[in-house]
Amino acid sequence: MTKIDRSLLEDILETIDAPVVILATDGGILRFNKACERLTGYSAGEVVGRKVWDFLILDEEIGAVRSVFEQTRGDDTPTHFVNYWKTKNGGRRLIEWSNKKVEATKVYQACIIATGKDITEARSQEKALSESKAFLRSIVDASPVAIITTKDTGEILTFSRQAELSFGYDWAEVIGNNVRMLMPAYEQSRHDGFIERYLESGEGHIIGKARPVTALRRDGEEMPVILHVSEFQDDQRIFVAFIEDVTEQRKTERRLAETRDQLQHVGRLGAMGEIASSIAHELNQPLTAAASLVGAVSLTLKKADRETNRETAQLLDDAVDEIRRASEIIRNMREFVRKRKTARSLYDVNKVVEDACKVALIGADADGVCVTTDFSPKAGEMLLDRIQIQQVVTNLVRNAVDAMKETPQRELRISTARQNGYVEVRVEDTGDGISEEIEKHLFQPFVTSKEDGTGIGLSISKSIIDAHQGEIFGANKDSTGCVFAFRLPVSKNDLIPGP
């Protein structure tokens, strides 16, 4: 090779913007170009003659590097390898190497030429991107609502963990399929129409808006969900669907509606009973008096011993019999109302009270009522008529809410406790309290402080608690407001946790 050729080779090695190192067959460095110097911080003078694995290779990678070196030295086929180089200041750079053996000539000794590419930043970016994707995936999978992304064609791109749980599919079963597979037939046509209209006009009837729809599980069961769809632009338009399964919520709403209907029905029956009882009480006295007066007139006419008087007396006797029969019917009706039978079963007291409160407190938050509850786990289970006891709780809670409508401080506390052989339910408010006039006749029918009240709610409540052999009371608190409470006696059949 001429000197010009050697000079050209030197220029190429020094100007190429990639690390090139020439190694002797024992691993010693013969050439170290400028790119290598910039990469490591070492000058050529500091490294020529030193073996590469003595200072440039990480300890844990020396074995692998020497293995590739031996492979390259013994074969004409180029080898490729990725490893770290240590820099002079203690750093490290990740290099992708291509290695080739060069046979000895009259001018050059046998050597290995290694040409590298610094991929430190690229690999770091790849790792960061991978970690970012993994982090994003972990966030998506931690979401309590199902998250699904699709193309504008409907092809599913991602399927979160909650989506798997909600729909019953593994993500691999849905990726690449059309999202219509997750909808019943009547929802598919609606969805297609919405998407087509949006893509054509840009008017979103579903984009950015939450709406109730019906989804389809893998087993064919339909489920009510709340759907919220948004979009973003990457290299293509992507739709993101947030899907909240509200099956349990709908069940709870139905259960509360059924409880509310039952309470209203029982309330109406109770009101009718209290009214009937009061009417029977009020009518029985004048009927008794009328029977006595008519009887007296009949007796007077009989004493006169005239034929016409006797006939008239007979008619009056018949009238007395009818009056007494009416009085007996009314008395029987009153006794029937008073002795209402309770359909008792074993119920969790706290659950009974909690369900009643959910119904009674509908709309209370809009009135600014702050509600706190303190349900003792020792309340346990008791034999009781669930609907009747819930009616009592509903009456007391609604009365408390109504009592605070005109007060600036609106705090309601509902609690249960077990003490002295009783399970007690308390409802405390910060209203105006009980007036002296009302307090004297608190549980009598038709006594009320409300302008539109019937005055039979507390009377019904007392009848129910009496039928349960319990007691109910109401009193003003030392501070603002009042407390109403009822106690039910603990029996041997009740399941009460021990102290």
pLDDT by residue (tens digit) across 333-356? 555 555 455 567 889 999 999 988
Helix (H), strand (E), coil (C) string for the chain: CCHHHHHHHHHHHHHCCCCEEEEECCCEEEEECHHHHHHHCCCHHHHCCCEHHHCCECHHHHHHHHHHHHHHHCCCCCEEEEEEEECCCCCEEEEEEEEEEECCCCCCCCEEEEEEEECHHHHHHHHHHHHHHHHHHHHHHHCCCEEEEEECCCEEEEECHHHHHHHCCCHHHHCCCEHHHHCCHHHHHHHHHHHHHHHHHCCCCCECCEEEEEEECCCCCEEEEEEEEEEEECCCEEEEEEEEECHHHHHHHHHHHHHHHHHHHHHHHHHHHHHHHHHHHHHHHHHHHHHHHHHHHHHHHHHHCCHHHHHHHHHHHHHHHHHHHHHHHHHHHHHHHHCCCCCCEEEEHHHHHHHHHHHHCCCCHHHCCEEEEEECHHHCEEEECHHHHHHHHHHHHHHHHHHCCCCCCCEEEEEEEEECCEEEEEEECCCCCCCHHHHHCCCCCCCCCCCCCCCCHHHHHHHHHHHCCCEEEEEECCCCCEEEEEEEECCCCCECCCC
pLDDT digits (tens, 9 = 90+) for 48-80: 999 999 999 999 999 999 999 999 988 888 999
**Amino acid 328: pLDDT:** 61
- Stretch among 39-43, 109-113, 384-388, 455-459 having the lowest mean pLDDT: 455-459
Least confident of 169-183, 277-291, 481-495: 277-291
Q: Does the pLDDT of residue 269 top 60, yes or no?
A: no
**Mean pLDDT, range 284-291, rounded to an integer:** 61
Alpha carbon 194 to its chain centroid, in Å, reads 29
Let me know if domain 345-489 sits in CATH 3.30.565.10. Answer: yes
Per-domain residue ranges of the chain: 3-118, 127-245, 249-338, 345-489
Check if the beta carbon of residue 190 is closer than 8 Å to that of residue 159: no
For the chain, the average pLDDT equals 79
The token pair that represents 29 in the structure block? 């460095």
Does 127-245 match 3-118 at the fold level? yes
- pLDDT-above-70 percentage for the chain: 72
Chain segment 421-433, per-residue pLDDT in tens? 899 999 999 988 8
Residue 272 has pLDDT above 60, yes or no: no
Q: CA of 478: how far to CAs of 7, 348, 486, in Å?
A: 106, 32, 19
Residue 124 has pLDDT above 80, yes or no: yes
Q: According to the model, what pLDDT value does residue 330 have?
A: 59
pLDDT higher than 70, residue 123: yes
CATH topology of domain 3-118: Beta-Lactamase (3.30.450)
Strand pairing class (370-375; 411-419): parallel
| Annotation: CATH topology of 127-245 | Beta-Lactamase (3.30.450)
Q: Grade residue 261 by pLDDT with cuts at 50, 70 and 90.
A: low
Q: What is the pLDDT of residue 488?
A: 94
Output the pLDDT for position 432. Answer: 84
Looking at residue 96, its pLDDT comes to 94
Q: Alpha-carbon distance 393 to 384, whole Å?
A: 13
At residue 4, the pLDDT reads: 47
The yes-or-no verdict on residue 397 having pLDDT over 80 is: yes
pLDDT for residue 99 is more than 90 = yes
Which of 3-12, 18-27, 142-151, 448-457 is the least confident region?
Answer: 448-457
Whole-number pLDDT of residue 453? 44
Mean pLDDT confidence for 95-102 = 92
pLDDT above 50 for 3: no
324-335: string of b/e by CB count within 10 Å (b at 16+)? eeebeebbebbe
Give the residue-averaged pLDDT of 169-187: 88
Q: What is the pLDDT of residue 203?
A: 58
For residue range 404-451, what is the model confidence (pLDDT) as tens digits?
888 888 899 999 999 888 999 999 999 888 877 777 767 776 555 555
The answer to whether domain 249-338 has CATH 1.10.287.130 is yes
Q: Is the pLDDT of residue 6 over 50?
A: yes
Which residue is listed with tokens 């050529």? 44
